[in-house]
Structure 1
Amino acid sequence: MGALRSPRGSPARVVPTYRERLRVPVRWWIQWGLMVASFWLAMIAAIPGPLPWYITGGLLVVLIWLLRWYGSARIVVTDEWFQAGRARIERRYLGEVEVLEAARMRAVSGPEADARAFLALRPYVTAGVRITLDDPRDPTPYWLVSSRRPRALAAALTAPVGPPTTEDAAIR
């Protein structure tokens, strides 16, 4: 079976039933920005000329890139796929979904952790979900995924799979 096509003949885009981006919190931007500012202050006092400005500008660019990269982890659920970060799995291989509040998430990601599990965790997100896998060929017992809205994520993962949906007009 080929790709789903829109009435105009182009490949249709599947609309996610759930989408979340695990951006870094504002306090990280403030803390690291203050770190760069204090570095600039120390350099401006020690090195004459424009060199401290160039170095600080370079550090600021690296900081922005790192925080945007680290905060770019996405969680996407469609009718057929579940994606957490760069990893993707077909929903038909997903088993039980457990919502984990902060204390339970700490236990599952710490003392009760299985080394074979797939982890998509962020330290600034305290809740998440644990999804067991129903694939006998995959040695991974479960996925542990951070989420700011774990109940909504669990609902999207356990919702019955419907017919494919598109952003374009209905296929006739």
Structure 2
Amino acid sequence: MQLSPAHHDERLTAPRSWWAIAVLTGIACGLMLLPLGTMPLLAGLVGGTALTGLLVSSYGSQRVRVVGGALAVGEARIPVTALGDPEVLEPEEARAWRTYKADMRAFMLMRSYVRTAVRVEVTDPADPTPYVYVSTREPRALVAAIRAAQEKTAGDKAAQDTAKA
């Protein structure tokens, strides 16, 4: 499906190594129950793998979208009219904004396994959040989508103002 320039949809999935760790955790759970017999071994193997896989899946899969004139990050939805100019953060700069440059008041969806990010200032004077930090594997596409949505929203508002006059 081809998205318009004002749309972006990305799922931040956990790396393969996390899934390998989930399987190894299941094996460890099964081995701990080995002295109790074969059935507890299988139950521990299946249960440990399933539980760890569920944890990896829930933490490791967040959506980053630009849709309907808003930046939707995880459960948060921020209208693009409340955002400033987005900035692509390369790996070193993204690391700096995750660590020593970070502001406690900022909204951050960061995933350590995603090296690049986008930072967008919040321009709404009523919002105490200084900026939004979003880990993304496609920072240029996300920035382009935010800018396109901002331009579309500004154009729609100008058209409404003209129609009222």
Q: Distance in 2 between matches of 1:150 and 1:126?
A: 10
Residues 55-96 of structure 1 show CA distances to partners (whole Å, capped at 9, x for unaligned) of 222222212211221122101102411101111111110102
- 1:58 matched to 2:47? The reply is yes
Checking the alignment, whether the CA contact within 8 Å between 1:23 and 1:73 is kept in structure 2 is yes
How many pairs does the alignment contain? 150
Residue 139 of structure 1 aligns to which amino acid in structure 2? P
Residue of structure 2 equivalent to 1:7: none
**1:158 is matched with which residue?**
147
- Alignment counterpart, residue 92 of structure 2, candidates 80, 84, 103: 103
Distance 1:21 1:139 in 2: 27
Bigger relative contact order, structure 1 or 2 (CA pairs below 8 A, ≥6 apart): 1
Alignment-derived partner of residue 17 in structure 1: 7
Unaligned 5+ runs, structure 1: 1-14, 165-172
Aligned mate of 2:125, from 111, 136, 139? 136
User: 2:136 — aligned with what?
Assistant: 147
The corresponding residue for 2:111 is 122
Deviation at 1:99, TM superposition (A): 0.4
RMSD over aligned CA atoms reads: 2.1
TM-score normalised by structure 1 residue count: 0.80
Q: Any unmatched runs of 5+ in structure 2?
A: 157-165
Deviations 1:127-157 (A, max 9, x none): 1000101100000000000000111111111
TM superposition shift of 1:27 = 1.4
State whether residues 25 and 48 of structure 2, in contact with CA within 8 Å, keep that contact through their aligned partners in structure 1.
Answer: no
Contact 1:21 1:71 in 2 (8 A): no
- Please show how residues 17-96 of structure 1 align to structure 2 within 5 Å: 17-44=7-34, 46-96=35-85
Deviates more, 1:133-142 or 1:76-85: 76-85
- TM-score, length of structure 2 as denominator length: 0.83
Between the aligned partners of 2:38 and 2:114, the Cα distance in structure 1 is 42
State the one-letter code of the partner of 1:30.
A
Identity of aligned residues (%): 36
